[in-house]
């Protein structure tokens, strides 16, 4: 490709993206980092306070609870979502009406997160929700799916999986479509079973796709906000907050913009580090 790679051609291709990205992402992140060292309320005077905001996060039990919750959601979602969406992508190819089915599975991804949270409250609410109403005649006591002490992060994972599965499946599907057909044919003709085909040929060839989906899921988990907000409002008393919902609480509800931006920086770093960790791990094990 060296023949089309003159220096200024590269610059031209990169320029628009770099300019827009730097203006609308890097500048705001820098802005946020700068503010995280102040005690600003969002407007008016801002006093420089050094690392105070970060230090007080260390002693903030609500913050650590939100970290714990986010990590639980991350673990559960990755473990279930990656294989499930890949399997679904494999499944919804050769059968009748696959196109329509794919469109339907993508349905949840189309619904605004606020609405997703809203309808799932009606399903999971311990008192008036659908699930407990169905379980009641069976004698199963009202389980606190949300709003209780332990199950909320798992319930949030469930809702996140539901709303993201179509999204992940679509990317896997695009990846499957791009697999070179001659290799796929050859393997098929060699008499390999479907399972062997998938395990030894398809998955290794889709390494990049798996990486893409994983990174998207990881960064999306770190950004979960509306789901939690609608299901429990972060409660009871901040027990079910995720990182972003707690950041929102501190920034906008408590008007502590400086502290909120400190949390934002933490989110940003955690999301980035986790993604890189995934990539490093995947590279070493040489699979998806």
Partner 1 sequence: MFGPHLTTRRRIAGALLIVSSLFAVAACGGGGGAGTGDGKTTIALSMQNPDVKTADPATWAIIQAFEKANPDIHVDVSGQAVAEHLQRLTIAAQSDTLPDIFWVYKATAEDMLAGGRLMDLKPSLDGLGVTSHLPPSTVSNFTADGKIFGVPYQGLLTGLWVNTRILADNGLQVPKTFDDLVNVAKTLKSKGIVTISDGANQSSFSVWSFLVWLDRFGFEDKIGGILDGSQSYNNQDFVRMYQHIAELRDAGAFATNVTTQTYQQAVDQYLKGKAAMLDAGVWAAGAIQDSAVGADTIFWNGATFDDGVGDQNIVMNVASAPLVVDHKVADDKSKLAAVKKFLAFYYGDEAQQLLVDNGQPPVTDYQPKIDATKQSVLKSALDVANDPALKSPHTQPDLVVSTAVASAMYDSIYGVIQDQLSPDEAAALVQKALDAK
Partner 2 sequence: MSLTTRSPRDGAARDVSTTGRRGTRPTTPGRRHLLAAGVAAYLVTFLIVLPILWIALLSLQPSDTILSDPFSVKSLTFGNYRDAIASLPLLQMYKNTIIVAAISVTAGALVSFMASFALTRMVFRRRAAQSSLRFYLLAGLAVPVYVLLFPIYRLDLALGIFGTYAALILPYIAVSIPFNTLLLTGFLREFPTELEEAAIMDGAGLFRVCWSVVLPAMRPVLATVFIFNVVYVFNEFPFVSILINNPDLATVSLAVSRFQGQYTVNYGGMMAAATLVLLPQLVIYAVFQRHVIAGLTAGAVKG
Interaction between residue 281 and partner 2 (CB under 8 A)? no
Map residue 235 onto helix, strand or coil.
coil
Site string for partner 1, 140-159 (x = CB under 8 A): --x---xxxx----------
* Residue 108 engages partner 1 in binding (rule: CB under 8 A): no
DSSP tag of 48: B
The binder of partner 2 chosen from 73, 81, 88, 146 (CB under 8 A):
88
The footprint of partner 1 on residues 230-269 (CB under 8 A) is 230-233, 235-239, 249, 252-257
Binding partner of 233, given partner 2, partner 1, none, CB within 5-8 angstroms per partner class: partner 1
- If the CB atoms of residues 189 and 237 are measured against partner 2, the closer one turns out to be 189
Is residue 112 at the binding interface for partner 2, with CB under 8 A as the rule?
yes
Q: By the 8 A CB rule, do 66 and 242 touch? A: yes
| Partner from partner 1, partner 2, none binding residue 37, C-beta < 5-8 Å depending on class | none
Q: Which region, judged by CB under 8 A, interacts with partner 1, from 35-43, 95-103, 169-177, 268-276?
A: 35-43
Which of 99, 100, 82, 69 has its CA nearest to residue 227?
A: 69
Closest CA to 157 of 197, 190, 124, 202: 124
Report the DSSP beta bridge partners of residue 48. Answer: 38
93 binds partner 2 (CB under 8 A): yes
Cα–Cα distances (Å) from 130 to 3, 111, 136, 263, 275, in that order, read 63, 20, 10, 35, 36
């Amino acid at each position: 490709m060296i023949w089309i790679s003159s220096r200024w051609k590269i610059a031209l291709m990169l320029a628009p993206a770099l300019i827009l990205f730097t203006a609308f992402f890097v500048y705001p992140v820098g802005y946020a980092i700068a503010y995280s060292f102040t005690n600003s309320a969002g407007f008016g005077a801002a006093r420089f306070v050094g690392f105070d905001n970060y230090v007080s996060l260390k002693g903030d039990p609500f913050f650590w609870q939100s970290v714990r919750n986010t990590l639980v959601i991350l673990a559960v979602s990755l473990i279930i979502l990656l294989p499930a969406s890949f399997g679904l992508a494999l499944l919804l190819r050769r059968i009748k009406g696959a196109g329509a089915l794919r469109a339907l599975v993508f349905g949840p991804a189309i619904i605004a997160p606020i609405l997703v949270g809203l309808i799932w409250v009606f399903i999971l609410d311990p008192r008036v929700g659908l699930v407990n109403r169905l379980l009641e005649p069976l004698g199963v006591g009202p389980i606190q799916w949300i709003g209780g002490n332990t199950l909320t992060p798992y319930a949030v994972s469930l809702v996140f999986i539901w709303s993201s599965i179509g999204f992940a499946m679509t990317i896997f599907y695009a990846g499957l479509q791009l697999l070179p057909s001659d290799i796929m044919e050859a393997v098929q003709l060699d008499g390999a079973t479907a399972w062997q085909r998938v395990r030894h040929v398809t998955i290794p060839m889709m390494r990049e796709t798996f990486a893409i989906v994983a990174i998207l899921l990881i960064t999306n988990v770190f950004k979960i906000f509306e789901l939690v907000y609608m299901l429990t409002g972060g409660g009871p008393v901040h027990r079910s907050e995720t990182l972003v919902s707690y950041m929102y609480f501190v920034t906008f509800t408590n008007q502590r913009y400086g502290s909120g931006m400190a949390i934002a920086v933490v989110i940003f770093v955690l999301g980035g580090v986790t993604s890189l960790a995934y990539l490093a791990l995947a590279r070493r094990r040489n699979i998806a």
